[in-house]
């Protein structure tokens, strides 16, 4: 009996599109003297983010055995290179996130991640827009750029203040806009409200062939970004969206090892509360920060989703050779 | 109590929402890169027929609806209930007016229908896609008109009214598509 799943789920022309896209990206960075690097997919430690599930594996080397993690992002390793003096670098690699599968998700996916020394967040946003423009020219020749702050876009679409939680206003909004279940689901968790409303009501409206660069995420969602030096309510973090699809995430990178350690510890506490598998702080990454991370901005772009846009695909399976169910 | 995790959500799955049995039409995995994962489902309420959307936290468990679909033979109505039988077991079910609903106007004894049971009682009845019924009332058509153009209303033995070609006469048996209420053909026995 032959297994019908031996064949790729995408058409062969999508493989060629991917190949061309990767060649253009490498050309883009070669022209700017940004070095391509490789870091391990199998790592001794992994991120502590409460919302991410990782894959782990056993390194079997008798008489020793040890757990290694498939990276959820190359961020820590790349910052170790930056701290070691690499200068601006980029990487095209696989990242792995357990339990993520859907129209826009495959547990194994391709990331383009790059770091620019001495760049402001604004400069990095411009570079992201430029690269995306170059890649998407065949399908969106007239694509426009729309830079707007998180709080502004949130207010425009919902009339809610994203930076200050108002229980009654948020609940009234949920009742009026057909998401009454949010009241129970989000309870009094401001960040959960923000995730719910942003992904259900705002993200789907970021359309009309524009590159949306949304900056100034709430400080509670800073992740690995610095808190803004003028406004402690927001983080120096941005995200990129096109036609309702989340494409990437960028930071003015946090370089303070003490603050980073505290954020890790806070996230580990949240993981404990939510009964998520426990992880340990990446000490090598913290040591690198301690040695000194140069001022830099970095961003990760999901290349599979970019390819979906480029090929007008409805599901990620249409552009992957072997998505998880065929892997 | 049987439950389903959001990871098991797929089209056709029957779950309980707000104490009503519902069928999932579509399920979408929604996850901000750095945020909470959700399951956004589009569902049909099997009690009211209404279609709504609902979001769950990814990994949450939802009560399964005890919904079974089975083929049954229509027996008769006593005016208040419509009676059906499972052919293999002779087990009988009585469905009320709400469950029979639109199917009522197509039901003829011995027809095989699809019955949806919720907690072992009939929730809805779907008639066969095609039924053959006699015409009990219609205007006499023009002699010699076989074009089928135009058409006229005809009342069938079950009370349903459908548009038929002008040449079809009282007493004749016709085949009707119950999904569209459209005349298909005459049936010669």
The reported pLDDT for the residue numbered A24 is 98
- Most B CBs within 10 Å, among A179, A195, A217, A300, to test the B interface: A195
Q: Are A103 and B33 a contacting pair at CB < 8 A?
A: no
Q: So what's the pLDDT on residue A2?
A: 76
- With CB atoms and an 8 Å threshold, state whether B32 touches A199: yes
Q: Which residues of A touch B55 (CB under 8 A)?
A: 179, 181-182, 185, 196, 200
- Summary mean pLDDT of chain A: 96
User: Is residue A166 over pLDDT 60?
Assistant: yes
Alpha carbon distance A77, A81 (integer Å): 7
For residue B7, the chain A residue with the least C-alpha distance is A99
Domains of chain A, by residue range, sit at 12-143+209-326
Q: Is pLDDT above 60 for A91?
A: yes
- CATH assignment, A12-143+209-326: 3.30.930.10
What pLDDT score was predicted for residue A319?
A: 98
pLDDT band at A4 (very low <50, low <70, confident <90, very high): confident
Q: Which residues 297-316 of chain A have a CB within 8 Å of chain B?
A: 302
For B155: left if phi > 0, alpha if psi spans -120 to 50, otherwise beta; the answer is: beta
pLDDT of residue B148: 52
- Residues from chain B that touch A246, judged by Cβ atoms under 8 A, are 32-33
Q: Residue B104, Cα to own-chain centre: how many angstroms?
A: 11
Q: Check residue A278 and give its pLDDT.
A: 87
Nearest residue of A to residue B57, measured between CA atoms: A185
Q: What pLDDT, on a 0 to 100 scale, did the predictor assign at position A65?
A: 94
- Report pLDDT for A308: 98
Q: Which of B18, B34, B57 to mutate to test the interface with A (most CBs of A within 10 A)?
A: B34
**CA of B16 to nearest chain A CA: how many angstroms apart?**
14
* pLDDT score of A142: 87
Strands, sheet with B67-77, edge to edge from the N-terminal-most edge strand: B92-95, B82-85, B67-77, B112-118, B121-126
Any alpha helices (H) in A198-318, and if so which ranges? 257-273, 283-292, 303-310
Q: Given CB atoms, is A221 within the 8 Å cutoff of chain B?
A: yes
Tell how far CA A176 is from the center of its chain.
Answer: 31
The verdict on B40 touching A (C-beta cutoff 8 Å) is yes
Closest CB to A51 among B29, B35, B54: B35
- Assess whether pLDDT exceeds 90 at residue A123: yes
Select from A226, A222, A165, A149 the least CA-distant residue to A197: A165
For range B165-187, the mean pLDDT: 93
Using an 8 Å Cβ cutoff, are A167 and A183 in contact? Answer: no
Q: What is the pLDDT of residues B88-144, one digit of tens each?
A: 999 999 999 999 999 999 999 999 999 999 999 999 999 999 999 999 999 886 655
The average pLDDT across A231-237 equals 98
Residue A198 touches partner B, C-beta closer than 8 Å: yes
CB < 8 Å & 24+ apart, contacts of A261-265: A261/A286, A263/A222, A263/A224, A264/A48
Tens digit of each residue's pLDDT (9 = 90 or more) over A167-184: 999 999 999 999 999 999
pLDDT confidence of residue B150 = 74
Per-residue pLDDT tens over the stretch B137-166: 998 866 555 555 678 999 999 999 999 998
Q: What pLDDT, on the 0 to 100 scale, is given for residue A186?
A: 97
User: Rg of chain B's alpha carbons, rounded to an integer?
Assistant: 22
Q: Model confidence over B58-88: pLDDT tens digits?
A: 999 999 999 999 999 999 999 999 999 999 9
Strand partners, B39: B29, B56
> Does pLDDT of B52 surpass 60?
yes
Tokens matching residue A290: 């301690």
Q: Give rounded-to-5 percent helix, strand, coil for chain B.
A: 5, 50, 40
Neighboring chain A residues of B40 at a CB cutoff of 8 Å: 200
A68 part of contact set with chain B, CB < 8 Å:
no
**pLDDT at position B163:** 93
What number of CA atoms fall less than 13 Å from residue A87's CA on the CB side? 6
Q: Distance between CA atoms of A158 and A152, rounded to whole angstroms?
A: 10
What are the beta bridge partners of residue B55? Answer: B40
A49 touches chain B (CB under 8 A): yes
Note which residues in 10-39 of chain B have CB less than 8 A from chain A.
28-38
Residue A88 has what pLDDT? 98
A1 pLDDT exceeds 70?
Answer: no
Give dist(CA A260, CA B138) in Å, integer.
84
What pLDDT is stored for residue A193 in this prediction? 98
């Amino acid at each position: 009996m032959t297994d019908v799943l031996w064949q790729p789920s995408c058409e062969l022309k999508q493989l060629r599109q991917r190949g061309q896209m990767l060649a253009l990206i490498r050309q883009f960075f070669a022209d700017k003297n940004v070095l391509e690097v490789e870091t391990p997919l199998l790592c001794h430690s992994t991120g502590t983010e409460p919302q991410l599930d990782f894959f782990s594996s056993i390194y079997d080397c008798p008489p020793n055995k040890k757990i290694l993690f498939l990276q959820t992002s190359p961020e820590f390793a790349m910052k170790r290179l930056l701290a070691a003096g690499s200068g601006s670098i980029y990487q095209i690699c696989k990242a792995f996130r357990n339990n993520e599968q859907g129209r826009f998700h495959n547990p194994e996916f391709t990331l383009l991640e790059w770091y620019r020394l001495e760049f402001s967040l604004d400069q990095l946003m411009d570079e992201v827009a430029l690269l995306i423009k170059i890649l998407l020219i065949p399908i969106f020749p007239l694509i426009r750029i729309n830079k707007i702050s998180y709080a502004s876009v949130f207010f425009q679409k919902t009339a809610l203040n994203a930076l200050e939680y108002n229980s009654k206003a948020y609940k009234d909004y949920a009742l009026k806009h057909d998401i009454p279940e949010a009241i129970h689901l989000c309870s009094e968790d401001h960040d959960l409200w923000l995730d719910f409303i942003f992904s259900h009501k705002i993200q789907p409206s970021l359309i009309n062939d524009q590159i949306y660069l949304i900056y100034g995420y709430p400080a509670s969602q800073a992740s690995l970004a610095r808190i803004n030096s003028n406004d402690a309510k927001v983080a120096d973090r941005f995200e990129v969206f096109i036609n309702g699809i989340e494409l990437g995430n960028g930071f003015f990178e946090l370089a303070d090892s003490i603050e980073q350690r505290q954020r890790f510890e806070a996230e580990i506490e949240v993981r404990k509360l939510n009964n998520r598998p426990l992880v340990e702080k990446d000490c090598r990454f913290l040591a690198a920060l301690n040695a000194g991370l140069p001022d830099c901005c970095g961003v990760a772009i999901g290349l599979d989703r970019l390819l979906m846009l480029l090929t007008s695909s409805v599901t990620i399976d249409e552009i992957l050779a072997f998505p998880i169910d065929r892997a | 109590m049987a439950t389903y995790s959001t990871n098991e959500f797929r089209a056709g799955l029957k779950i309980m929402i707000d104490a009503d049995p519902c069928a999932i039409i579509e399920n979408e995995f929604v996850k901000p890169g750095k945020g909470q994962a959700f399951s956004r489902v589009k569902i049909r309420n099997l009690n009211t027929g209404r279609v709504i959307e609902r979001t769950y936290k990814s990994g949450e468990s939802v009560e399964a609806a005890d919904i079974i679909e089975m083929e049954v033979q229509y027996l008769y109505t006593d005016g208040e209930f419509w009676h059906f039988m499972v052919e293999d077991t002779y087990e009988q079910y009585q469905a009320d007016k709400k469950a029979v609903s639109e199917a009522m106007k197509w039901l003829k004894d011995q027809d095989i229908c699809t019955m949806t049971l919720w907690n072992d009682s009939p929730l809805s009845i779907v008639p066969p896609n095609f039924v053959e019924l006699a015409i009990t009332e219609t205007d006499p058509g023009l002699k010699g008109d076989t074009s089928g153009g135009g058409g006229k209303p005809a009342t069938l033995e079950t009370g349903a009214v459908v548009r038929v070609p002008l040449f079809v006469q009282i007493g004749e048996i016709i085949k009707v598509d119950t999904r569209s209420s459209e005349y298909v053909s005459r049936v010669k026995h």
